[in-house]
Amino acid sequence: MPRAIYVLSLGVFAMVTSEFVVAGLMPQLADGLGVTVPQIGYLITAFAVAMAAGGPVLTVALLRLNPKSALLLLFVIFLAGNVLAATATGYATMMAARIVTGVASQAFFGIGVSLSAQLTRPEVRGRAIAAVMNGLMLGTLLGLPLATVVGEHFGWRAAFWAIGALTVVAALTTVAGVPAVAPSAEGGSFRAELGAFRAPRLWLALSSSTLIIGATFSAFSYFTPILTQVTGFDGGTVPLLLVAYGAATVAGNFVVGRLADRHTMPVLAAGLALNLVFLVTFALLADLPGPAVVAMLGIGLAGVTLNPAMVTRVQRAGNARPLVNTVHSSFITLGVILGSALGGLAISMSGLRAPLWLGAGLAALGLLTVLPELVRGRVARPAPAPVPQPCS
């Protein structure tokens, strides 16, 4: 695997740590900015919306640049957003900072995944994507807890300064470790990039990704209240369980990355089926600590870890260019928004188990968007050639 793949993973790690940092420092941010905790929650929503809506626009603006130059420019924009957050004296400034960093991070994902496809052979692209996405998994496992610890001990501004320092390190390693390759010959102009979206298979693949991530985040967004108020764990145990969940996502990402290239559709179908089983189990047995923990870890193994297979499917249905990958990231972010928002609505209507049932429903819908293509692939597969019989 080229060294540049792991350098890209470090950039993703910085972006994801910044994305999640607000969730770990909500009380401190509320006190420091003089607003309520729900208002701080809107910063998370703003980041996600900026990713989904602004990321593709910024990607289009960078299409003419070679990928390395585009990534370095995105690091500059992302760093500016984190410095703005670290020095924010009011809520409006912090909101602007989150929008800037959200747009830059989404464009980084799209261009970074596209570059990983350029740097590797087609038969190992799924493995390369998994290596890049390890930055996402490790951001959940390590980035959020570390940023939270820094914020709690040195203040919330220090957390954003630390992310800024990490961004500088990631940018310098990109300068040293990522080759300056030319833009892919598959496109370059906005019109050429847009042509890929005429394929119905691409839209079906994008929809599947939204449902896969929506199913996972409808549960993940509410793990803490479910585990404390339904399962009965104390507040000190839950962070350890979330670390275990993060470790499960790293393991699942490794496995899916090894299978995504040759078994894309079976991996997606199996992952969705397993996630459906784990979500239903969690919903039914959330009051029992043992089964609840097993189900939670199962969701970690079979949820967001499907990313390498999702990306592989989308690239085959469209192309591996930056705009397709960035729009795909936007559909993934849409899944995060829908899962968390609908999960909150479900809680208000039916209680804390409701997001788990909602996730199961989204996983079932996702399975319906995958099975037809899986069946078509098996039907289209040529029969093995007959074995020649010896002449008598």
Q: Quick: pLDDT tens for 315-347.
A: 888 887 888 888 998 899 899 888 888 888 888
Residue 185 has pLDDT above 80, yes or no: no
Delimit the CATH 1.20.1250.20 region(s) of the chain.
Answer: 1-179, 196-379
Is residue 57 very low, low, confident or very high in pLDDT (cuts 50, 70, 90)?
Answer: confident
> pTM of the prediction?
0.81
Q: Are 23 and 45 in contact (CB under 8 A)?
A: no
Q: Quick: pLDDT tens for 258-277.
A: 898 889 999 999 999 999 99
Is residue 183 very low, low, confident or very high in pLDDT (cuts 50, 70, 90)?
Answer: low
Residue 160 has pLDDT above 90, yes or no: yes
Residue 257 CB contacts under 8 Å (≥ 6 apart), including other chains: 126, 127, 129, 130, 131, 133, 308
Q: Quick: pLDDT tens for 10-55.
A: 999 999 888 878 877 877 888 899 988 778 878 888 888 898 888 8
Tokens in use for 352? Answer: 């804390």
Closest CA to 174 of 103, 72, 81, 262: 72
User: Which has more confidence, 52 or 381?
Assistant: 52
Residue 386 has pLDDT above 70, yes or no: no
Is residue 196 very low, low, confident or very high in pLDDT (cuts 50, 70, 90)?
Answer: confident
Q: Quick: pLDDT tens for 295-307.
A: 999 999 998 899 9
Residue 140 has pLDDT above 80, yes or no: no
pLDDT (0 to 100) of residue 118: 82
The whole-angstrom separation of Cα 88 and Cα 82 is 10
Residue 315 CB contacts under 8 Å (≥ 6 apart), including other chains: 117, 125, 324, 325
User: Which has more confidence, 344 or 77?
Assistant: 77
Q: Quick: pLDDT tens for 365-380.
A: 999 999 988 887 665 4
pLDDT (0 to 100) of residue 387: 43
Q: Are 89 and 105 in contact (CB under 8 A)?
A: no
The whole-angstrom separation of Cα 41 and Cα 144 is 16
pLDDT (0 to 100) of residue 277: 97
Domain 1-179 bears CATH identifier 1.20.1250.20: yes
Percent of the chain with pLDDT over 90: 42
Q: What is the CATH number of domain 196-379?
A: 1.20.1250.20
Tokens in use for 42? Answer: 């809107």
The mean pLDDT of the chain is 86
